[in-house]
Structure 1
């Protein structure tokens, strides 16, 4: 792992636990359900996964600033952040982002309520994780607006392919 923020997450119990348990982002979950490649031939580096078989990838050459692609286990993918810091802020601010397919405040509030039922201390734990990493968090609305911008805006030419079949993943957000 070459990323300094991801290394800081690993070294911070509050951040690692919140991201793994609440945001469903496991730094050790880097095995995707199938072999994938970028259509451009650029490097694809898995940096974490979720419990449903989805994987987060850094795309192309570089460091923290590389685009972050999320691919689920059902053959859908989308850019979700431009850089690891933006990804971590998204995961902390809106751990339920996958439940916000229309990016609406109503959808986010509803999903947030479900999360709070299971984790009543969610906001305190989130704030402790952000403080441990030295991150300022956007509001949920701002994080979702940025997610919409990244996921539905220009794709930077990033197309994820099933390596064996050569078929492109579908868009995660329509």
Structure 2
């Protein structure tokens, strides 16, 4: 099976949607600070966002590995288990960073703001998902999964600012 990273690079429409509004760029995998996982597990930056945040694969393996997101302000959270789950999140809730309470209401308000600027957002999203061969969850399921991963599964994925030995702050609180 072809890697999803390769598929994103090959599918221009999907790559454009993930770049914006997804704010996910496969050419920005270098984090601005030296970091490591408290567990000592491997950490591999593979993508980033426009504000200096980085997506990291955690542990050994391929695209099925857990994915940690670290922002440029010293916050971090586990956001997906595997790249397909992350891409689905970015397609369905590209404004996920603003959903601190993981509620539909919060997400719908942000969605309305995005739709003002990008009226064809849903059509673009659906074409991107189809190009990548991904089925999409509904918004509530995507947020529920993000909450589960970030607040439960993510407890074992503490990012440390290596020079000072300080942990990053959790992006979400349980």
Task: State the TM-score, normalized to the length of structure 1.
Answer: 0.96
Residue number in structure 1 paired with 2:68: 69
Aligned-pair distance for 1:159?
Answer: 1.2
1:123-162 aligned at under 5 Å gives the runs: 123-155=122-154, 157-162=156-161
Q: 1: CA distance between counterparts of 2:132 and 2:85?
A: 13
Task: State the TM-score, normalized to the length of structure 2.
Answer: 0.96
Q: 2: CA distance between counterparts of 1:88 and 1:155?
A: 18
Q: 1: CA distance between counterparts of 2:155 and 2:167?
A: 15
Contact 2:76–2:159, Cα closer than 8 Å, also in 1: yes
Q: Relative to structure 2, which stretch is displaced further, 34-43 or 116-125? A: 34-43
Q: 2: CA distance between counterparts of 1:61 and 1:131?
A: 29
RMSD: 1.1
Residue number in structure 2 paired with 1:78: 77
Q: 2: CA distance between counterparts of 1:52 and 1:160?
A: 18
Q: 1: CA distance between counterparts of 2:64 and 2:155?
A: 13
Residue number in structure 2 paired with 1:42: 41
Q: Relative to structure 2, which stretch is displaced further, 129-138 or 28-37? A: 28-37
Contact 2:32–2:72, Cα closer than 8 Å, also in 1: yes
Residue number in structure 1 paired with 2:112: 113
Aligned-pair distance for 1:77?
Answer: 0.5
Q: 2: CA distance between counterparts of 1:84 and 1:143?
A: 14
Provide, for residues 108-165 of structure 1, a one-character-per-residue CA deviation record: whole Å limited to 9, x for no partner. 0000011111111110110010000000000011100100010111326211111111
Secondary structure at the aligned position of 1:58 is classed as strand
Secondary structure at the aligned position of 1:63 is classed as coil
Equivalent pairs counted in the alignment come to: 172
Q: 2: CA distance between counterparts of 1:23 and 1:149?
A: 21
